[in-house]
Structure 1
Amino acid sequence: MFSPALYRQRHQFVIDFVTRNKPQKVVDLGCGECSLLKKLKFHREIELLVGVDINGAKVKKQMHGLAPISTDYLQPSYDQLRIELYRGSVTQKDVRLRGFDLVTSIELIEHLTLADVELFSEVVFGFMTPVAVIVSTPNSEFNPLLPGLTGFRHTDHKFEWSRAEFKSWALKVCLDYGYEVEFTGVGEAPPGQQERIGFCSQIGVFRRLGVRSGCSMFDDDAEDVFSYTLLYSVNYPSLQDNNILRRVLVSEVLYWAEKMRRGCTEERTSKRNDAYRETEGGGEESIGASQQHVEMEEKQTACGDSTSHLMEQHGRGVSEDQEGEEYWTSSQSQQESYKLHRCESVPLAVLWSCCPKIGALSGSLSNLRHLLMEDGRVKLSQDGSAVLVNYQEQDLEEADEEEDHNDMEDSGYAEASQCSHSAEQGEEWLI
C-alpha cells in the first residue's frame, strides 16, 4: 500500500530528524536487525551510536554489518564514531544509556504489556532523560484499510492504540517527566480520509523542557546500574587519533616527496638532453630541439616546474654541480658506493604549501616537522627542514646507462663496436 515501504518511511523520519538536529549520542531501543543503525552510521555528526534489543541472537547475526569498511581505514575522516550493541530489556535501567541526545523507539512499545509500558516510561524519560525521544507505534484506526487484516498487525503485539489512546499516554509522560510532545506520523491515508483516520504509524516526538546546550538534566547521584550485556563495540578510524593521523600524514608526505623528486629529475634530464642536442646538432636540428624544449616547459604542471622553483627558492637542495640538484651521503663509510646513498632533498615548506592535504593534516609547518620526526619511515635532513628521498635502484641504473652511453659516444667506442659487430655477423654468414 505504501511507496516507499512503511518501515523505510519510519527510518527516513528518524534520519531527517538527525540531519536537522545533529545529535551526537543516539540510542535505538529495540534495534532488532540493526537496519536503522546501518543507515545512521553514515551521519558522522553522531559520535556514539548504540543499539539495544532483548533478542541477542538476532543482534549478533547483524552486528558485523556495522563494522568499518576498507575505505574507512584508507580514507579516515576527522569525525569520531563509536558503535555499541547491547542485549537488554527496555524495562531495565543501565547507567551507560543516560544523557543521550536522542532515543528512538520504532514500533516497540506495542510489544510490551501495559505494565511494562509504565516501566518503559520510567526508564526512558525518568532515568535516561534524553534530550529528545522519537516513539512510533501502529495506529489502530488505520487497520480497517489494511487488506486481509484481522486482529493486530503482528502476532506479538500486546495492544494497538488509537490516536486518542496514544495521545493520552504521551501527555501523561510529558506531565510526569518534564517533556513536551509533537504528534505526527508516516503512511498517509487515502485522499479525503487523512483527517478522519490519521497516519498508519503514529509518531510522538518528545523534547525535554528546559534543555540548554551542553547542560545535563539528570541526577548525578543516581545509582550505577549495569543491566545490559555488551555484545559488540567498535571505534571507527578517525584523524583525531594521533596514530592514525600520523600514518595518513606520513603516507601523503612520502607519496608527494617521491612525486616531486621524480618530476624534478625528469625536468633536469630533459633540459640536459635538450642542451646536449643543441650542442651536438646544428641548424634546423638545433632549432627543432629548442622548440621542443619550449613546448615541454609550457606543459609543466604545478608540481613540476613550480615545485622546482619553490625548491630553489627555499634553498634546500644541495648539488654535486652546485646548482641545487643532487647530493650523496655515506652512513657507514665514505668508501661505499655513493649510488646507494644518493638522495634528493624536498623541503617541508614546499610539501606543506604545495599539497593542501598535507597542510590540512598537519595544521602548521612546525607541527608537520614534529609529527615526521616521530616516525621512522621518513628521513629528514639534519636541521629537520627537508625530507630526504632516496633514488630508486631503477633510476640509478637508468642514469648509469645514460652516462655510459654518453661516454661511449664521446670516445668513439660506440661506432667501433658497431663495426666490429657487423664484421662478426658477416663472417658467421660466410661460414
Structure 2
Amino acid sequence: MTALERVVREEWGRLVALLLAQFRRLDLVEDALADAVATAQTRWPDDGEPDNPSAWLVTAARRRILDRLRAETMAARKEPLLLVEATRQPQEGVMADDGSLVDDDLLRLVLMCAHPALPPEGASALSLRLVMGISTADVARLFLVPEATMAARITRAKKKIVTAGIPFAIPGTDALGERLDVVAHTAYLAFTAGYAPGSGPDLLRAELAGEAIRLARVTHALRPTDTLAHLIALMALQHSRRDARVAPDGSLVLLPDQDRRRWHHDEIAEALALLEATEPPVPVTALSESFRLQARIAAEHATAPSPEATRWDRITTLYAVLEQVTPSPAVRVARAVAVAEAEGPRAGLLLLDGVELPGHRLPAVRGELLARAGDRAGASEELARAMALCDNVIERAHLSSRLGELA
C-alpha cells in the first residue's frame, strides 16, 4: 500500500474534520481534498512521497479552498468574509457528564451529519462515506441498496448540510440526545465495514473497526447510554478475535479453527463487565436491545472454552429473540447458521426458504449447509454463485477452496 492509499484509507475523516474546523464549508472542503489527492497521484510518483503525506494533502487542499474563497469574495465584493472563513478556529470542547472535556473533531463531524434535518439513513450513510472513508459501493452493501441509490442519498445529505447551514459543532445537551442513536448506528455500520469488508483485498480492516469503537467510546463518555454501552460491548467482543481471524498467509480462519490463545482476553473481560453492568436495560429500545442481544451472542462464543463447548442452544434462543426485535434477512441467515449447529444442516436450510438477501453471504451459507447435508451438487452450485457475487479477495479465495474440496 502506498503512502497516499494509506492516508486516504485511514485518515480521510480526520483530514476532512481538520479542514472543516477551519473553513466551515463542507462543499469546498470535500472538493479541495479530492483535488489534492488527484494532484498527489500525478506528482508523488515523480517527485517522491513527502515526509508527512497528511500535512502535504492538508496544505494543498487549504490552498485550493483559499483560492475559491478569494474568487467568491471578488465576485461578491465581500472581502471581510474571506478573513472570517480563513482565520476561524475550531470551537472549544464541551463538558461530559463526568466533568471531563470532550474535544473531538471526528465526533463533531459525525454529529453534524446526524442533524435531525437529515433522515437517519442519509445521516449514517454520509458519515460512513465522509468520516470513515468507506466507499459508496460498500456503504450501499451495508444498507442493502444499489450503489446508484446510495450515491444519490449521500449527495442529497451533503446538499442539505450546506443549504441548511448545519454547524460543525457538538450540540448542547437538549439537542444531543436525539442524535445519539444515529451516531450509535453509524459506529455499528462502520465497525461492520471494518470487521467484514464487502470488497477489496483485506479480510478485515482493524484500523476502521478500532476507529468505530473509539467513536462509540468518546460518545459514551460525552453522554452515557445503555445503547452505547451495549454497542461497545458487542464491538469489543467481536474485535477481540481480530488477530486469530487471519492465517499467516493471509487466508481466512473460521471461528472453530481459531487459536483462542490469540484472542484479546482483556478486551473480552472488559466487554463482559460492561454488558453485565447495563442489564437489565431500562428503558428498552429496539436499537439498544438489538445491540444487547448481539453482544450476548458474541459473549457465548467468547466464553466457550472450545468450539465443542459452545452453547448453541442459548445462541439459537438469542437469535430467535433478536429476529423478533429487529427482523431482517441478515438476522435470519445468522440464525439459520446457529440452528444448523444446534439441530443439523437441514433445520438450518429450512429457515432459509424464501429468504432474499443481496450479496454473496446467503448463497455461501446455503452452499455450506448443503455440503454438510450431503448435497454436493447443490452445494457446488450455491458456492459458485457466491463466488460470482463476492468482491472481497480473501473471502472469494476461501469460497474457491471450498468449491475445490467439493469437486
Same fold (TM over 0.5): no
TM-score range, shorter chain: under 0.3
Q: Flag the structure with larger Rg.
A: 1
Larger strand share, 1 or 2: 1
